[in-house]
Amino acid sequence: MIREVLKMGDPRLLLQARPLEQFDTPELHTLLADMRDTMAHLSGAGLAAPQIGVDLQVVIFGVEKNERYPQAEEVPDTVLINPVLTPLSDELEEDWEGCLSVPGLRGMVPRHVSLRYRGFDEKGKRIDRSVSGFHARVVQHECDHLLGILYPMRIRDFSKFGFIQALFPGEEVLDE
Ligand code: NI
């Protein structure tokens, strides 16, 4: 079921999410189905449970190779629960981000270039990956939602924050 995505300003987006305690339950599978439906409906690259008002440490993300956006790196479809992120270097890289909770806007956000992430899938199976680039950026963005952090809170140069249509006139840019 497609759910309403909370918008920046809603205090529920600023909460620290609780760890999930029971895996592979009907409630979890329903939550994930709703998250997938909502993300697909809005053509998002990721979604965190708090964005649909569910206060749990559950995120999904994934980016398919897309001929319209050949520069976008592929990210495997992933369910990540109770994540722990460890940067693999101090190196930061700035790039554009958007968010389904901040519609119509883009900002230039510094993120760790590479990191290790650990957690669990919906069955409780361990996930342990070391990634870099766009994959690492997506993970950091989604897991920030579990800490009550939205990407504008990470922006350092506010001259690189604005409306998509004003920042990229004439370009075809995914809405989110
Ligand atoms: Ni987001």
CA of 164 to the centre of ligand 1 (A): 15
21 flagged as catalytic = no
pLDDT at 67: 67
Task: Look at the alpha carbons of 36, 39, 45, 46 in this order and tell me if their dihedral is positive or negative.
Answer: negative
Side by side, the strands of the sheet bearing 126-132 are: 46-48, 58-63, 75-87, 114-120, 126-132
Residue ranges of the chain with pLDDT lower than 70?
Answer: 67-69, 172-176
74 — phi, psi (to 5°)? -75, 140
Which residue among the candidates 142, 171, 172, 176 is catalytic per the annotation?
142
Ligand 1 midpoint to CA 121 (Å): 20
Q: For 11-167, CATH number? A: 3.90.45.10
pLDDT given at position 2 = 98
Q: Which amino acid is at 20?
A: L
Give residue 68's pLDDT. Answer: 64
Query: Exposed e or buried b for every residue in 103-114, given b needs 16+ CB within 10 A?
Result: eebbbbbebbbb
Find the 165 Cα to ligand 1 centroid distance in Å: 19
Instruction: Write down the pTM of the prediction.
Output: 0.94
Query: Phi-psi category of 76—alpha, beta or left, where left has phi over 0 and alpha has psi -120 to 50?
Result: beta
* Model pLDDT, residue 86: 98
Q: How far apart are CA 46 and CA 176, in angstroms?
A: 10
CA of 67 to the centre of ligand 1 (A): 24
Q: How far apart are the first and last CA of the chain?
A: 20
Percentages helix, strand, coil for the chain (3-state, rounded to 5) are: 30, 30, 40
Q: What are the backbone dihedrals phi and psi of residue 37, each rounded to the nearest 5 degrees, phi first?
A: -60, -45
Q: How far apart are CA 93 and CA 128, in angstroms?
A: 23
Instruction: Return the domain boundaries, the chain.
Output: 11-167
Backbone φ, ψ for residue 67 (5° rounding): -65, -25
Give residue 65's pLDDT.
79
Listed in sequence order, the residues at least 6 apart from 160 whose beta carbon sits closer than 8 Å to its beta carbon are 94, 96, 107, 108
